[in-house]
Structure 1
Amino acid sequence: MNMSTWIKVALGIVLCLTQCHGKKDYSGDQVLTIYPASEEQVKFVQRLPEADFWSPKYAEEVNIEKPVDVLIPRHVLGNVKESLGEEDISYKVMIEDVQAAMDNQVKGRMSRAGHELVHDYNVYHPVEEIEQWMADISAEYPSLVTYEQLGVSTEGRNMHMMTISTNPDNPAILIDCTFHAREWISPAFCQCFTRNLLEGYGTDPLFTKQLNSLTYYIIPLINPDGYKYSWDEERLWRKTRSKYEGDECYGTDANRNCDANYGGEGSSGDSCSITYRGPYVESEPEVKAFADFTRAHLSKIMAYVSVHSYSQLVVLPRSYTGVPTPTLDVLMKYAKQAADEIYRVHGTVYTYGQGSSSLYFVSGGSKDFAYDIGVPWTCTLELRDTGEYGFLLPEDQIEPVCVETTAALRSFSDAAIELWLNRD
């Protein structure tokens, strides 16, 4: 990038700092898919000004093996495109207008304004509606569902979970959603899977068998503060909403705050980074509540699934090391079975593997924490898509995602039951 281009970029940044306020507007911002073809081009892409890396999640993981999805703000967009051209770096526009894509995510809600939305599983729901839904569905199935408080968030919100069970002595599978606030398809899936499981009990033979043999712990909103902020202030907010003495910026990446090689590669000590690990392990009350619950129920939990987006991956432990996980053969067997079940529904292709090789290095992740303390089978499930919409998956994809991912969870449930029966 030449000097005149850098000056234009700097002026654009200053203009934004003086004029941008209120709820963040992404009008004119674009998501580019960039194809670096050499180490020099990789370094150039890593230094793009104000780039919000979507895939991979941070600049250090950019390499010549995979395309890079990155959001570029409108005030630097022209200069970034010009500089990519000057460096002969190929790219394409993935999302033409980010705000338009965001508006498209909620158009169904807008068309239903004034109507009951809480139990509409084909639209995205804010915190208040999800909380009400949890209370309502627990009241609707009182013999199967226990609605209880897991903890309290940084901003004082009650964190709730549902225990769905026919026998308290059964082994369990733990499912959580919304570790990262901007991944709205995650809590949408937690809602629809819960509906499918409860409606299927007594009518669907497989669901009936599984719920007679397995307890489901489901946490739809593990990061309620961040999720609330993504609705009200900044749609692409990822982290929690904590702020500690000496920190310049708000928020900790909850999926870097767990006790699994905490502070290692794939996490940041910079509070302004989207992968900020927090000041100490389990500093986030949301993470502490999750970890305490997992430790307290360790003798029963046979499987743990943390639902994220996007990439269409079943990410296995451990993500903080390239050394093969001790039980990788078992992990891969069940991951393959789930990926096969997903494919049978709509032909959606999921890949799977140890996190450090299938995605990127992560330290402080929840699936590795659960695995390291003794949960036999854990994964991060990265839902649709592979880049067309990224974090802004339209409402009309909620139901197909729900159906195919329910197939995966049914497979994981069978795995949990099998692991329980074959335990030492």
Structure 2
Amino acid sequence: MKSVACIICLLGSLLHEGFGLKVQYNGDEVLKIVPQNAQHAQYLQDITTELLLDLWKPPTPEAIHAGGEVHLRIPSSHVNQIKDSLLQYNIPHNVLIDNVQQLVDSHKVNEKTTTKVSLETYNYTKYHPMDEIYEWMEQIKQRHGDVVTKHYLGQTYERRSIYYFRIGYPSDKKKKIMFVDCGFHAREWISVAFCQWFVNEIVSTHRSNTVLNNVLKEVDLYIVPIFNVDGYIYTWTTERLWRKNRAPFNNGSCYGVDLNRNFDVQWCTIGASKDCNSNTFCGPSATSEPETKALSGLIEAIKQDIIFYLTIHSYGKMILLPYGYTLNLSKDHDLMMEVGKRANAKMKEKHNNEYDVGASSHVIGYFDSGSSGDWATDIGIKFSYTFELRDNGTYGFVLPEDQIKPTCEETTTAIMSMVEYVNEKYLENNAVVIRSLSINVLLAIAMCLHSTLSS
């Protein structure tokens, strides 16, 4: 009995530390498959659905079509069988990732905080667990209190707090808003890393950057560094490739809602699933989740002041405009394309990395509904963009840490071009500056003419 008790105690200890709970991907492969005809596409739809395979691109089996690129994670137990069947059906394919677990392990970071978080030593080129991010948020608030305030957005299903920063100079006047959120999908760690990088960039340069300094007098940046807190923590403790939140369904037989399919815009009509086992499960109803309720509630309250809504995801290297649920274009599509292309051109100058720009359903080649970007447009926000960051599938959702810096640099450049657009088109201060310059130029010309005539 003593030996049994010791074994139980040991198992309990392992489970407590998280080792016994880890989902392993040993021998799993990610295949790039290109169906050549409708029969190929149907076959891929069928095996993905029947085997509940993890479809990385596109997000739903229904979106697989002839000529469209498919990225599919195959469990080691099915790799040979599926490769054989692809050869049998003459479906072109190649291996993107030959061992998913090896890739996860090679980019694994320390899961536990070993030292107290310090802004002086905080490494923005590393992925950070949630406890470090919480501490980082608090220190950002304390260190940069002249321009930063931290606010409570709401609570997750597992009763964790979601916070957002409000960054801007204090003002008695009502200010315009640029809204940025990161971390909708738990496994998209680069999104969360970007928001931390971007906040640091703003607080570090707002005094030396003339445009930013001017903008923050009349515009507040609302930044949600991580939205899907429960899911993000779960990717660190249990399942690295988890996507959804952690709400249970069917008496705990399945978990999680795709938060970017849960907004009240053509909810669950296309490109989403009502099966709670699916990665694109839209939930039992629109805004059913505490996370989406909290975000939509805040945005509804301030929507009249929001100029830009930017939501950051991965992967695919795209700047997407509404809409995802229809081929129809939004009413401000042409203007949004102009601003999006300008952002992309600035981005390309940074690392010669070009993104695709266009309406979501046109660029990605499939439909989706219930997204925050489409919802933002439909409630009247003029500029709504979804950024899909690096890469194109070489690493997929397991982007190496050496890619964080260039990814964040180019994305910051793109968003700063939008900040510049706001400065040019929307600010009173900028208009005053331009008028002052014009008057000074006219005065100089007048004085020059007077001097010439006098001589």
5+ residue gaps, structure 1: 1-20
Cross-structure match for 1:7: none
Q: What RMSD, in angstroms, separates the aligned Cα atoms of the two structures?
A: 1.9
Alignment of 1:245-260 (within 5 A): 248-260=253-265
Q: Which residue of structure 2 lines up, in the alignment, with residue 209 of structure 1?
A: 214
Task: Give TM-score scaled by structure 1 length.
Answer: 0.91
Q: Which of 182, 186, 195 in structure 1 is aligned with 2:187?
A: 182
| Deviation at residue 50 of structure 1 after TM alignment | 3.8
Corresponding residue for residue 120 of structure 1: 123
1:220 to 225, 237, 243: 225
Q: Secondary structure at the match of 1:69?
A: strand
In 2, Cα distance between equivalents of 1:79 and 1:369 = 42
Q: For 2:321 and 2:113, how far apart are their aligned partners in 1?
A: 41
The corresponding residue for 1:415 is: 421
SS of the equivalent of 2:94 reads: strand
Cα pair 1:170 1:213 within 8 Å, conserved: yes
Letter in 1 for 2:231: G
Gaps of 5+ in 2: 1-19, 429-455
Aligned counterpart for 1:328 among listed residues 328, 333, 350: 333
Q: Secondary structure at the match of 1:255?
A: helix
Is 2:144 the counterpart of 1:141? Answer: yes
- Correspondence for 2:269: 264
Amino acid of the structure 1 residue aligned with 2:370: G
- The CA deviation string for residues 56-94 of structure 1, in whole angstroms up to 9 with x for no partner, is 112111122322111001011111111111111111110
Q: CA deviation at 1:299?
A: 1.8
Shift of 1:204: 2.4
Equivalent in 97, 102, 116 of residue 100 of structure 1 = 102
Q: What corresponds to 2:399 in structure 1?
A: 393
The answer to whether 1:240 aligns with 2:245 is yes
Give the aligned partner of residue 13 of structure 2: none
Question: Which of residues 334, 353, 362 in structure 1 aligns to 2:358?
Answer: 353
| CA distance in structure 1 between the aligned counterparts of 2:182 and 2:407, rounded to whole angstroms | 14
Structure-2 separation of matches of 1:420 and 1:247: 50
Conserved 8 A contact 1:176-1:220: yes
- Answering whether residue 37 of structure 2 is matched by residue 38 of structure 1, we say yes
Alpha-carbon separation, structure 2, partners of 1:334 and 1:65: 30
Distance 2:271 2:160 in 1: 29
**How many angstroms does 1:418 deviate by?**
5.0
CA distance in structure 2 between the aligned counterparts of 1:91 and 1:117, rounded to whole angstroms:
45
Larger Rg: 2
Q: In 2, distance between residues paired with 1:316 and 1:71? A: 28
Aligned mates of 2:424, 2:296 — CA distance in 1: 24
Match of 1:151 in 2: 154
Shift of 1:106: 2.4
Partner SS for 2:163: strand
1:46 and 1:217 map into 2 onto residues whose CA distance is: 40
Read off the aligned partner of 2:60 and give its amino acid letter: Y
In the alignment, the residues of structure 2 paired with residue 246 and residue 264 of structure 1 have an alpha-carbon distance, to the nearest angstrom, of 25
Corresponding residue of 1:51: 53
Report the TM-score when normalising by structure 2. Answer: 0.85
Deviation, 1:212, is 3.0
After superposition, the Cα gap between the structure-2 partners of 1:69 and 1:292, relative to the gap in structure 1 and judged at 3 Å, is: same
Residues 342 and 349, structure 1, Cα contact 8 Å, conserved in 2: yes
**Aligned positions of 1:15-30 closer than 5 A:** 22-30=21-29
